[in-house]
């Protein structure tokens, strides 16, 4: 049976000709509806009468949410742009359209793209201009040592409920990486309310990640726009603040967050993301696949990250929560293997040598090794919170800062300087 396709390419001069050619010749494609706008296309998609949609970049009100709804309705999407219009091609890709073709492509080629999109064949490379080629022109190469443009690494800092210290670790890692000379972007993606702005003493009215995700949804986010939305905390450290109010979580659309991370990889050699705790999948909403999911942004970050750091507390309650959270993560994202960091380690809540006992318990119940132990150091964290500054600034000699710096060195591969200072001779 021929593939049943919706088109939404109105306004383009070549629309009638293309639709006619697709339909007329034997390409195995039948145009079942020529939609006049996005609303029409979404309505058609819900009828289940088509398996693919062919749309043009000029389609008004086309955004990431519309593409996500088409995909969720089982309609594969192929985009068309005017010949040579690389900017529109990039915009369509940001909206989540994987296959983008030039409108002067042969009908046979377009039909093949539609068939492959429906079959889920991965798209091969970029068909229209590689947007990365434009990067040097923006004058925004990644700063400091690290991978080349577009290949910055993403480290997600996650962990169970109960405030084990995700934000403390995320801020500490980002700050220490920057101090080691690695251009770093700290992103607050906690869907239960972000506090990175407050912790760093920044004005939290800045729109931050929500604005970046919104621009991504509209297809207008690029590396320069992301740089404008981020605070320059100090040389080599930028911060993209989070949701000022937890009830605004629907603004962090997973697809938008994924695009933000893609641009972050171009902006900084290292992106550290402070994540919300939950990975539950809102099953009661799953009958309506277009409904926003609160933890969708968290799952997107965890899936996209090169490294997931799981921060655990160091008392029996916190450890049990970690065991449960790691189990949930394995169920939802089996391909993700987190690096476990135990924070707030102290004598008292577990008998004997806390490091040995905690390592043994986590190995037994999760099979995970502990990558690092961070000491409980209330004096240092209180000093940082009181000043709205980082541990590196207010408690540089503290045990917690030293441990975070060692962890940052391990994650970035940049060694901690040996610290021998040259003594200046006077006279
Ligand atoms: N190693 C540590 N020693 C002492 N206090 C710590 C340590 N790590 C974190 N804290 C303190 O514990 C509290 C919770 O830490 P943090 O905000 O980093 O946790 P979280 O996991 O991000 O919590 P939330 O669920 O609120 O996002 C803060 O007051 C922080 O200063
Ligand atoms: Mg936090």
Give residue-wise pLDDT tens across range 1-49: 789 999 998 766 777 888 888 877 788 899 999 998 999 999 999 888 9
The predicted pLDDT at position 139 comes to 31
- pLDDT at residue 402 is higher than 90: yes
pLDDT confidence bin for 143, thresholds 50/70/90: very low
Half-sphere exposure of 200 (CA within 13 A, CB side): 26
Residues with CB under 5 A from ligand 2 (ion): 166-167
190 Cα: distance to centroid of ligand 2 (angstroms): 7
* 167 within ligand 1 shell (Cβ under 6 A): yes
Rounded to a whole number of angstroms, the CA Rg of the chain reads: 24
* C-alpha–C-alpha distance, residues 331 and 333, integer Å: 6
Q: How far is CA 260 from CA 28, 34, 128, 189, 204, in A?
A: 37, 33, 21, 11, 19
Pocket test for ligand 1, best of 168, 387, 394 (most atoms within 8 A of CB): 168
Q: Kindly state the average pLDDT of the residues 262-279.
A: 94
Question: Which is the closest atom of ligand 1 to the Cα of 311?
Answer: 21
The predicted pLDDT at position 48 comes to 85
DSSP state of 368: P
Per the listing, tokens 């690494």 go with: 153
* 168 within ligand 1 shell (Cβ under 6 A): yes
The maximal CA–CA distance of the chain, rounded, in angstroms, is 91
Average pLDDT of the chain is: 88
Domain 3-121 in this protein, CATH class: alpha beta
- pLDDT at residue 130 is higher than 70: no
Residue pair 281/93 in contact (Cβ under 8 Å)? The answer is: no
Q: Which residue has the higher pLDDT, 235 or 148?
A: 235
Question: Which is the closest atom of ligand 1 to the Cα of 400?
Answer: 1
Residue 100 tokens, joined? 């983008």
* 377 within ligand 1 shell (Cβ under 6 A): yes
Residue 188 dihedral angles phi and psi, to the nearest 5°:
-95, 105
Question: Which is the closest atom of ligand 1 to the Cα of 276?
Answer: 27
* C-alpha–C-alpha distance, residues 61 and 98, integer Å: 19
Give the list of residues 6+ apart from residue 335 with CB closer than 8 angstroms, or none.
303
**pLDDT tens digits, one per residue of 235-246:** 899 999 999 888
Question: Which is the closest atom of ligand 1 to the Cα of 384?
Answer: 31
3-class DSSP state for residue 174? helix
Q: Kindly state the average pLDDT of the residues 272-279.
A: 93
Residue 7 tokens, joined? 């088109």
* 376 within ligand 1 shell (Cβ under 6 A): yes
Tell me which ligand sits closest to the C-alpha of residue 159.
1
312 Cα: distance to centroid of ligand 1 (angstroms): 11
Give the list of residues 6+ apart from residue 141 with CB closer than 8 angstroms, or none.
135, 149
91 Cα: distance to centroid of ligand 2 (angstroms): 33
Q: Kindly state the average pLDDT of the residues 261-274.
A: 96
The predicted pLDDT at position 127 comes to 36
Question: Which is the closest atom of ligand 1 to the Cα of 376?
Answer: 3
SS3 content of the chain, % helix, strand, coil (to 5): 45, 15, 40
Question: Which is the closest atom of ligand 1 to the Cα of 377?
Answer: 3
Q: Kindly state the average pLDDT of the residues 282-310.
A: 80
* 190 within ligand 1 shell (Cβ under 6 A): yes
Question: Which is the closest atom of ligand 1 to the Cα of 274?
Answer: 22
Q: Which of 137-146, 152-161, 341-350, 407-416 has the lowest mean pLDDT?
A: 137-146
Strand partners, 47: none
The predicted pLDDT at position 420 comes to 61
* C-alpha–C-alpha distance, residues 424 and 427, integer Å: 10
Per the listing, tokens 């450290």 go with: 237
**Residue ranges of the chain assigned to CATH 3.40.50.300:** 141-412
Residue 174 tokens, joined? 């980002």
Instruction: Output the residue whose Cα is nearest ligand 1's atom 12.
Output: 165
* 163 within ligand 1 shell (Cβ under 6 A): yes
Q: Kindly state the average pLDDT of the residues 223-242.
A: 93
* 63 within ligand 1 shell (Cβ under 6 A): no
**Residue ranges of the chain assigned to CATH 3.40.50.2300:** 3-121
Pocket test for ligand 1, best of 160, 161, 165 (most atoms within 8 A of CB): 165
> Per CATH, is 141-412 categorized as 3.40.50.300?
yes
28 Cα: distance to centroid of ligand 1 (angstroms): 59
Pocket test for ligand 1, best of 156, 161, 167 (most atoms within 8 A of CB): 167
Give the list of residues 6+ apart from residue 31 with CB closer than 8 angstroms, or none.
5, 6, 7, 19, 22, 23
- pLDDT at residue 325 is higher than 70: yes
| Strands, E assignment, 134-254 | 153-158, 184-189, 231-234, 237-240
């Amino acid at each position: 049976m021929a593939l049943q396709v919706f088109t939404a390419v109105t306004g383009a001069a070549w629309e009638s000709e293309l639709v006619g050619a697709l339909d007329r010749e034997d390409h195995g494609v039948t145009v079942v509806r020529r939609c006049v706008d996005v609303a029409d296309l979404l309505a058609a998609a819900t009828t289940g009468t088509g398996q693919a949609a062919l749309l043009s970049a000029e389609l008004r009100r086309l955004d990431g949410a519309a593409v996500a709804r088409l995909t969720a309705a089982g309609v594969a999407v192929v985009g068309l742009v005017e010949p040579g219009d690389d900017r529109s091609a990039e915009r369509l890709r940001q909206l989540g359209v994987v296959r983008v073709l030039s409108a002067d492509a042969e009908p046979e080629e377009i039909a093949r793209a539609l068939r492959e999109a429906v079959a889920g064949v991965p798209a091969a490379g970029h068909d229209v201009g590689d947007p990365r080629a434009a990067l040097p022109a923006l004058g925004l190469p990644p700063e400091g040592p690290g991978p080349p443009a577009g290949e910055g690494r993403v480290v997600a800092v996650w962990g169970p409920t109960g405030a084990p210290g995700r934000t403390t670790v995320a801020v500490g890692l980002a700050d220490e990486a920057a101090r080691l000379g690695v251009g770093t972007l700290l992103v607050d993606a906690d869907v239960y309310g972000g506090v990175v702005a407050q912790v760093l003493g920044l004005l939290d009215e800045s729109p931050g990640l929500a604005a970046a995700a919104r621009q991504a949804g509209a297809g207008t986010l690029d590396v320069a726009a992301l740089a404008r939305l981020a605070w320059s905390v100090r040389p080599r450290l930028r911060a993209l603040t989070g949701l000022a109010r937890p009830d605004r979580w629907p603004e962090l659309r997973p697809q938008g967050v994924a695009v933000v991370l893609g641009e972050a990889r171009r902006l900084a050699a290292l992106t550290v993301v402070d994540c919300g705790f939950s990975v539950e999948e809102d099953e009661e909403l799953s009958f309506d696949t277009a409904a926003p999911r609160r933890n969708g942004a968290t799952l997107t970050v965890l899936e996209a990250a090169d490294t997931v750091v799981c921060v655990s507390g160091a008392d029996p309650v916190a450890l049990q929560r970690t065991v449960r959270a790691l189990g949930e993560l394995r169920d939802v994202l089996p391909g993700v293997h987190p690096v476990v960091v135990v924070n707030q380690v102290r004598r008292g809540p577990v008998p004997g040598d806390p490091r040995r006992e905690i390592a043994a318990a986590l190995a037994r119940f999760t099979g995970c090794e502990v990558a690092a132990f961070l000491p409980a150091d209330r004096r240092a964290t209180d000093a940082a919170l009181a000043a709205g500054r980082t541990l590196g600034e207010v408690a540089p000699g503290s045990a917690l800062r030293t441990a975070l710096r060692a962890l940052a060195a391990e994650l970035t591969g940049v060694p901690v300087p040996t610290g021998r200072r040259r003594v200046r001779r006077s006279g």
